[in-house]
Structures are given as structure tokens and as C-alpha cells.
Amino acid sequence: MDTILVVNAGSSSVKFQVYAAQSSGELARKVKGQIDGIGSRPRLRGSGTDATQSIDREFRPEEIADVPAALHTAAAWLRDEQLINPTAIGHRVVHGGPDFDRPVLVTTEVLARLERYVSLAPLHQPHNLAPIRSILARSPDLPQVACFDTAFHRGHSAVSDHYAIPERFYAEGVRRYGFHGLSYEYIASRLPQVAPEIASGRVIVAHLGSGASMCALASGRSVESTMGFTALDGIPMGTRPGQIDPGVLLYLIEQKGMSAAAVADLLYRDCGLKGLSGISNDVRELQGSKDLRANFALDYFCYRIGLYAGMLAAALDGIDAFVFTAGIGENSASVRAQIAARLAWLGAKLDLASNAVHAALISQPDSRFGLYVIPTDEELMIARHTLALLSTSGAQSCALEKRDRH
């Protein structure tokens, strides 16, 4: 049975899942795990389909000092204790730039092209690429597929895709890409099952997590997104500001004497909910705090989401449904309630009881449009793409040629 390892690597953690391809063509998850605390307090946690196959093991910092070491440790556990040797690996890669509008089989040439976009997603891209580079060096004949958060949005119109700057910059790749595409693509694939009556309609999806964005779907296709050239734009996030006047950045550089590196560090690590509250980037901690700054940060978060909902509704010429997803969207009833109140002018009516129990449909029967809570599954989307790509003759031939070269 073919198995696909899905890897989502961050700066201090590696999340992984293993899927088995069924004869029906469906994918069944066999293992889920993660290693966090890389370089400080490494800890491997994982579980298989059998509850007795779980693991919760700590390591010395020097044993798992970086992301490649973490992946090597996870692979050893899968091989030695789960008896799993994946036939392919699918990776989440945040930025595909102007070159990649669909998943691609990784080669040394592809990896080199993806490294060009590190500056556009510095919190993610270097860590996404680290395990790919390590596996390519250790096991060059093992097929790896890069799946991009930008790819789902590449069908945007030219009007949506452009900034109002000289065309030569667009030709160089300075354009509005959009992110969280794997999440939005999964939600679009689920709508026909969860809410078939609106699957081909006008749907706004709010991916609300530590990273947050919103997407306008028309008949299951992305037509507009709150994020643009980088993952800084749009609604506020855990540590990123969302939309900000470029003049503020010029002020920080020219008047405050901050370097470009210092401004980048501020924008990616010290803004958003963390910057507004001065307390934390974690919504759960802010909700439990009595500090007025915590309440203000949450109010601001919901206010900006309401503003962008209006923008996306305009892009769609109306709205038939609003979907909450990702960590905050799926788990915070109070945040959903605040946002729903911001959508009341559009005709949204929240059902408090359904919202409290995190039901799939949380709007009242007479609501102008449906309010939904749909859990996302980016890892399954990556596994699907990996299986589909390797099932095509072109990808198989490429993989064989790659093996032959080594």
C-alpha cells in the first residue's frame, strides 16, 4: 500500500501526517504527530490508528537542534516503530511566487527557484524548504511534492492581481498573491458535502489562526483575498499587523532611523494582537485576561474582519455564506459572535445555541445568508495533491529520470 508523508515545517516545530492510498482512490490517515521545541526542549508526540502506537518522548536540545534533525527523528520513529516507509512526501510551501501556480515535483532546480522567495515569507519559507533540501540530499530518489499556499489564488483577474504601480514591477513578480490557499481549497472541496445549496454561490471564508486571512469564493474558486504580496497584509494576526499605510514604514525608516531588518522584525514578530495588547498573541490568553488592552486587541481584530467582509462582499457582488475556519474560527464562539454582530448590516443572524456548541451551521433560519463553521485540513489537501501529481505519467517519468540520474 502506497503511503504519503505530509510535512508542515515551521521555525521550531515540524508537524507531520501519514496517509495511505486506498484502492478506492481515497486517502486514509494512519499517523499524526509533531516535534516542537526544536533546539530548546525537543518533544516528539504522535499517534497511529491504534492507540497503543502513540509516543510522547523528550530529547536533549543537541539531539534535535534544527528542522532537518527533527524530520530525521520523526522518520526513524515512523520506520522503526510504525513500520512505515513513505513512497512520497508532500510539503507545505507558503510562497510559490509567479513561477508556480500548482503543485510541483521537487528537483534541485525547483528548490533553487523557491529559495528566491524567502524574503517574501521569512517566517515560513526558509523552514518549509529546510526539510526538502535535507531529504533531497539524503534520499534523492524519494519523490517530494511542493504544494503552495499561493497557488489557489493564481486565477485572480488582472484587476485583483495588480498594485497601482508601474507595470515593470508586476512583470518582476510584485503582485497580489494571497495565502492560506491550501486551507481555502479544502473548504471549497467540502462545501458540496456540508452545504451543497451554497457550494456554487458567493462565499466568504475567514481563515482565523495565528496567521489570518479571508478569501472570496465564487463557485468554489478564489476571486479575491485579503493578503497580497506577502503574508503581512489584510486583517491583523497574532504578531503581524495586517493592512498598514506604507507611509508608516517610511516614517519608521526615515524619522525613527530603523533599518529595513528592524522594520521587518517588527512587522513579523511584534505587531498584531501581541502589539496591540502588549500581552500575548494567543486569543485564548487575551480572552482570559482582565486587562483592557486585551479586550481592545480582540475588538480591533473583529472590527477589521468586519470591514474586510464588506470588501469581499463587494468583490462577489453579494454574499450567500460566511465560513469560519482554522484554530480561532473553529474554536472561539465569542470571536465568532463578535464577527457575526459586525455582519448584521448584511443580514447575518447568529444562532447563539448552535454557536456555543460549535455546530456546522450557526445562523438562524431567517438569516440573510448562512454562517458556517467548517474545520480545515491543509494536510489532507497536500496528500491529495501529492497523490494526484504522482499518478500522472509526466510526474512518474520525471521521478524515474530523477532516480536514474542518481
Q: Any idea which residues carry the catalytic annotation?
A: 149
For residue 34, give the nearest of 5, 80, 70 by alpha carbon: 70
Candidates 29, 5, 28; CA nearest to 145 is 5
The answer to whether 55 touches 66, Cβ cutoff 8 Å, is no
CA–CA distance, 203 with 226 (Å, rounded to integer): 14
Strand 43-48 versus strand 212-218 pairing type: unpaired
Nearest 5°: the CA angle 178, 179, 180 is 145
Continuous segment of H or E residues that includes residue 5: strand 3-9
Beta strands 27-36 and 13-21 are: antiparallel
Rounded to whole angstroms, the Cα distance separating 36 from 44 reads: 7
**Can you list the alpha helix ranges (DSSP code H) found in 115-233?**
125-138, 158-161, 167-171, 181-194
Ramachandran quadrant class, 64 (left: phi over 0; alpha: psi -120 to 50; beta: rest): beta
For helices 292-316 and 333-342, the axis angle rounded to 10 degrees is 50
Cα(291)–Cα(147) distance, rounded to whole angstroms?
A: 41
> 195: which residues sit within 8 A by CB, 6+ positions away?
321, 361, 370, 372
Phi, psi values for residue 396, rounded to 5° = -65, -40
Residue 365, SS3? coil
Phi/psi at 370 (nearest 5 deg)?
-80, 145
Element holding 283 (H helix, E strand)? helix 283-287
